[in-house]
Structure 1
Amino acid sequence: MITETGRIVAIEPQGLWVETIQRSTCGSCAAQKGCGQSLMARLMGHTSYLWVLLEGRDPDKYQLGDEIQIGVPETVVVKGSLFVYMVPLLGMLAGAGLGQSALQSDGWSALGAVAGLVLGGLIVRWRAHQTRHDRRLQPVLLDDTDAVTLVTP
C-alpha cells in the first residue's frame, strides 16, 4: 500500500476531499537535485485533490484541516501506469507500421504514428472515464481505528 498524508479540504456525506502535496518519494530519492519532479514540486507546490470514500464512517468525526493518512494499493498504481503509458505507445507503433506498410512512405508512417498516439490517448481517456467510480481504484482511509459500519440514509 502506498501511503500519503493529506489535509481535509471538504467534507461530504459519502466522502472527503483531501489535498495532498507529493513529497513522500522526494525525501528518500538519491537524485533529488537532478529530478524534474522535485523541482516542479518546489516551484509550483504541486497539490492534488483526491476523493476518499468514507465507506460508512461518520462524516461528523472529521474536521476541515485535519491531517489524515490515505493509501492506494500498489497494484492499482502499477496497472494504471502500464495502461496509461503502453496503450498510446502501442497505438503509435501500430499507426506507424500501418502507415508504412500501406503506402510505403515515411510521411504516411509519421502521420500514422501521430494518429495512433492520439487514438491511444483517447482510449486511455475513455477508460479513465469508465472507471472513475470504481471503488477498487479509490484511495482509502488508513488512520481510522473505528470499525466500518454502514450508515443508511
Structure 2
Amino acid sequence: MIEERGRVLSVEPGAVWVQTMRSSTCGSCAAKAGCGQGLLQRLGAGGRMGFVRALTERQWQVGDEVLIGVPEDALVRGALWVYLVPLALLFAAALAVQGIGGSEPQVILAALLGLSSGFVLVRWHGQRARHNPQLTPQVLRAASLDGVPLTNL
C-alpha cells in the first residue's frame, strides 16, 4: 500500500477531500547531483499541494490529519496502461504499415495514429475505472507521529 499524509479539507458522504504535500525521496537517493528530479525539488517545483478525493466509512472533521493509501498493484497497472499501451499501439501500427509495404511517410503517419489511438484507449479506460473503489484512494487511519501534528501543510 502506498501511503501519504494529508489534511481533510472537505467532507462528503462516503468520502473526504484531502490536501497532501507532494514530496520526493531525494534526501535518501545516492544520485542527487545528477538527477533532474532533485534539481526540480531544490528549485521548489516538487513541493506543491495536491488535492485527493479519498473514500472512507468513518466520519472525519475538516482539519483532521489522515493517512490515505492506494494499493501498489493499482499504481503499477495504471503506469502500464499510461506508458505501455500508447507505445505498443505506436509500434504495432508502424510495423503493420511497414509490413504491407508502406512508404516512410505512411509508416510515420500510422505510428502517430497508433499513438493517438493509444491515448484515446487510455482515456477510455481511465473513465471506465474512475469509479472503481479498488483503484480509488482510501482513508486508512488518523495520521500522527507520536502525537506530533502534521506541520508541512
TM-score (norm 2): 0.80
Deviates more, 1:70-79 or 1:38-47: 38-47
From the two aligned structures, give the one with the greater helix fraction: 1
Distance 1:120 1:75 in 2: 21
Q: Secondary structure of the equivalent of 1:133? A: coil
Aligned residue among 56, 66, 69 for 1:68: 66
Aligned positions of 1:96-115 closer than 5 A: 96-115=94-113
Q: In the superposition, relative to structure 1, how do residues 85 and 9 fare at CA in structure 2: closer, same or farther (>3 Å)? A: same
Whether the 8 Å CA contact 1:99–1:111 is kept in 2: the answer is no
Match status 1:118 vs 2:116: yes
Deviation at 1:144, TM superposition (A): 4.5
TM-score (norm 1): 0.80
Deviation at 1:82, TM superposition (A): 1.2
Corresponding letter in the other structure for 2:61: Y
Map Cα deviations across residues 7-34 of structure 1 (whole Å, 9 max, x no partner).
2222212211112222153343323343
Whether the 8 Å CA contact 1:69–1:141 is kept in 2: the answer is yes
- The size of the alignment, in residue pairs, is 141
Match status 1:43 vs 2:45: yes
Distance 1:6 1:46 in 2: 13
Gaps of 5+ in 1: 146-153
Gaps of 5+ in 2: 144-153
Deviates more, 1:41-50 or 1:121-130: 41-50
* Equivalent residue, structure 1, for 2:91: 93
Deviation at 1:126, TM superposition (A): 0.4
Corresponding letter in the other structure for 2:53: W
Distance 2:47 2:24 in 1: 14
Highest RCO, 1 vs 2 (Cα 8 Å, sep ≥ 6): 2
Whether the 8 Å CA contact 2:65–2:142 is kept in 1: the answer is no
Q: Percent identity?
A: 42
Q: In the superposition, relative to structure 1, how do residues 15 and 39 fare at CA in structure 2: closer, same or farther (>3 Å)? A: farther
